[in-house]
Amino acid sequence: MKKLIYLFLIMAAASCAPHRVCDSTVKEDSKFMKMLYTGRYEGALHERDSLCAQSKQLMQDTAGLGKVLRSEKQKLAKEIKEHAELKKLYDNLEKSSGAQLSQMNQDLTRKQTELEEKQKKVDQLEGLLKEHQAMLDNLFSSIKKALVDFSPSELTVEMKNGKLYVSLLDKLLFESGKADVQNRGVEALQKLAGVLNSHSNFEILVEGHTDNIPIKSAVYRDNWDLSTYRAASVVRLLIENKVAVERLTAAGKGEFHPIASNDTPEGRSKNRRTEIILVPDLSAIMNLIK
């Protein structure tokens, strides 16, 4: 019973004791309060003071952390904004680069197609040129073989500039100042016509040439007139030997295309000639070039 009364008095005194805030001290003149303090109460007060100190430190730490947090949030917001701007720039660049890349791919594809087409044309042109050269070589051999009985002083056969030239000298074909073909010339033209009929893909140009000595004749006004008549005579003889007229062209060149000097008899003799120029059909090549 005494213990209960004593405990009650302590509790009452504790409840009536003024509330201590953190870091407050007990007044020394309160004898009654000193009597009431026990080890447990002191421990509670010590614990409370410790908690108060921790609370203060926690508040300080929290304030510091809040400041750091706000700073970090500001940095983060700035970085988020910068990232958004960079992303927008990247997207724009990607779109722009994508469009440029697409255009470049289209250009490359077009160029590749053009190059392939050009290469194809070059290959075709090469093939056609080889074919034409083969035809020229074959015709050259055939004419040389057909005219083997005629000497170089009567006629020559040569290839130049993609054409074949059969040059028949004046003394083989004509008497001086005349345009009628002699027998020896007829024989040569007949043999030549046989070869030309088996090579129908060649056009035939017949050109008459003279030296520069003016002609004195009641039939021909000048060398130009004579050269034209001689070319026409050769064309007519070829037509008589079944050469298609559509392939033939006659032209008189007179004295204006010499191949030697007219200052000597030998040179003038070379200039008095009739040239049969054989031109391969180039229409396929021209169409390919176009």
Q: Please list the pLDDT of the chain residue by residue as tens digits (290 residues).
A: 544 444 444 444 444 444 444 544 444 445 545 555 566 667 777 777 777 777 677 667 666 656 766 776 787 788 788 778 777 777 777 676 777 778 878 888 888 888 888 888 888 888 888 888 899 999 999 999 999 999 999 999 999 988 999 999 999 999 999 999 999 999 999 999 999 999 998 999 999 999 999 998 889 999 999 999 999 999 999 999 999 999 999 999 999 999 999 999 999 999 999 999 999 987 777 777 77
Integer Cα distance of 164 and 169 in angstroms: 16
φ, ψ of residue 205 to 5 degrees: the values are -110, 125
Residue 76 lies in a domain: no
Residue 118 lies in a domain: no
- Do 63 and 152 lie in one domain? The reply is no
Residue 241 · residue 194 · CB < 8 Å:
yes
Residue 30 lies in a domain: yes
> The domain spanning residue 165 has which CATH number?
3.30.1330.60
Domain termination residue (choose one: 16, 41, 67): 67
Q: Which DSSP symbol is given to 180?
A: S
Domain termination residue (choose one: 67, 96, 111): 67
Residue 73 lies in a domain: no
Count of domains observed in the chain? 2
Integer Cα distance of 220 and 228 in angstroms: 10
Residue 134 lies in a domain: no
What pTM value is reported for the model?
Answer: 0.63
Residue 92 lies in a domain: no
Residue 228 lies in a domain: yes
φ, ψ of residue 255 to 5 degrees: the values are -100, 10
Domain termination residue (choose one: 52, 67, 82): 67
Domain extent for 27 = 2-67
Residue 8 lies in a domain: yes
- Please count the residues of the chain: 290
